[in-house]
């Protein structure tokens, strides 16, 4: 936690309260982690991820900009 506070101060980002939590405690955090893992697998050209990416693009769930 202290490292996060220090880095935020360096960037001059104000904060009131920082609290830690385990990944499994927050559904939004779990979703973000899952999406990041999927995108990493796409970059690493994992076959399952590329198949899903193609389906997501076709269904317009994912749109490249």
C-alpha distances out from residue 44 to 5, 20, 38, 50, 53, Å: 33, 30, 10, 9, 13
Instruction: Quick: pLDDT tens for 22-65.
Output: 666 788 888 989 999 999 999 999 999 999 999 999 999 988 76
pLDDT: which is higher, 13 or 17: 13
Q: Structure pTM?
A: 0.59
Cβ-contact 42, 53 below 8 angstroms: yes
Whole-number Å distance between alpha carbons of 58 and 52: 10
């Amino acid at each position: 936690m202290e490292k996060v506070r220090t880095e935020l101060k360096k960037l001059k980002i104000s904060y009131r309260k920082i609290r830690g939590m385990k990944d499994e405690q927050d559904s939004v955090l779990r979703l973000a982690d899952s999406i990041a893992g999927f995108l990493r697998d796409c970059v690493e050209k994992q076959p399952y991820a590329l198949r899903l990416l193609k389906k997501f693009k076709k269904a317009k769930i994912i749109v490249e900009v």
